[in-house]
Amino acid sequence: MIAKAEIEQLSLEFESKTPQEIILWAIKNFWPEIAMSSSFQTQSMPLLHMVTSLKRGIPVFFIDTGYHFWETLEFREKIASEWKINVIDLYRDSRWDVFARQHTRTLPVEDPNLCCYLHKVQPMQKALKDIKAWISGIRRDQTFVRAHAKILELQEDGLLKVNPLLNWTQADVKKYMEENNLPKHPLYEKGYRSVGCAPCTVAIGITDDERAGRWQGRGKTECGLHTDMFKKKDVSEIKQKIKLEIK
Ligand code: SF4
């Protein structure tokens, strides 16, 4: 296990490394206890392409919330099949089924934090339980929270989060997509530059921020995978916290 001080030092050094160099370091040090996550939207394609080219068979977690656009599910199937990647779908814990069914149509609007917790955060926490390093595609230019992220982030439970694209911009994504002739999510050309769940994503204008169409008008910019919510494991505490925050 790498010491926290060493991780912090490496994280600083990685600020000047390429994403591929960072990914290779992570694979060398953590394989086979390493995985990546992908939402299979256009901006996810470069990391998916890099990681799965550098390490065949690496698990790729896709969170199937049950609220995705059909186009996202089709795209996920197409890419997984054509690129022959090891996609693992993650689902809500069945203990929430009765509650979730009773609130299917209202939950994303009335309590999106709880909805994201049940459908995204908790399934990912469970999937990463036996994993030591998690490669994620967040970028500093996406949100205020992400602007303060580090390339290597060691959680208290020992999980190392690896963010190889942290210093990339939209222009870097576009360049890599063009250079490698990568496919775009089918809704991209219709104005969906960042695609999440259908009830929480709208098309945006060409000059809008990339993530302006996510949870529009709901004062929410993050699903919780990349915030303090992810570090919390106790459901009752989460529920209480979420309820207090939305009052
Ligand atoms: S993005 Fe919306 S629908 Fe998807 S889990 Fe979060 S609140 Fe629910």
The reply to whether 132 falls in a domain is yes
CATH number for 112: 3.40.50.620
The reply to whether 194 falls in a domain is yes
User: Does ligand 1 have an atom closer than 6 angstroms to the CB of 196?
Assistant: yes
The reply to whether 184 falls in a domain is yes
The reply to whether 247 falls in a domain is no
User: Does ligand 1 have an atom closer than 6 angstroms to the CB of 59?
Assistant: no
SS3 of 89, please?
strand
Is 197 assigned a catalytic role?
A: no
Q: In a mutational test of the pocket of ligand 1, which residue from 69, 93, 103, 120 has the highest number of ligand atoms less than 8 Å from its CB?
A: 120
Query: Which of ligand 1's atoms lies nearest the C-alpha of 220?
Result: 7
CA distance 117 to 126: 12
The reply to whether 199 falls in a domain is yes
CA distance 64 to 73: 9
The reply to whether 128 falls in a domain is yes
- Show pLDDT as tens, one digit a residue, over the chain (247 residues): 788 899 999 999 999 999 999 999 999 999 999 999 999 999 999 999 999 999 999 999 999 999 999 999 999 999 999 999 999 999 999 999 999 999 999 999 999 999 999 999 999 999 999 999 999 999 999 888 889 999 999 998 999 999 999 999 999 999 999 999 999 999 999 998 889 999 999 888 888 888 888 888 888 888 888 887 777 666 666 566 445 444 3
Query: What's the pLDDT at 168?
Result: 97
Cα torsion 159, 165, 166, 169 to 10°: value is -160
The model's pTM: 0.91
User: Does ligand 1 have an atom closer than 6 angstroms to the CB of 115?
Assistant: yes
Residue range(s) defining the domain that contains residue 136: 4-242
Which H or E run includes 126? Answer: helix 122-127
The reply to whether 140 falls in a domain is yes
Q: How many domains does the chain have?
A: 1
CA distance 13 to 73: 37
User: Does ligand 1 have an atom closer than 6 angstroms to the CB of 79?
Assistant: no
Q: How far is the CA of 242 from the centre of ligand 1 (A)?
A: 14
Query: What's the pLDDT at 238?
Result: 59
The reply to whether 14 falls in a domain is yes
CA distances for 75 relative to 25, 44, 45, 51, angstroms: 29, 12, 11, 18
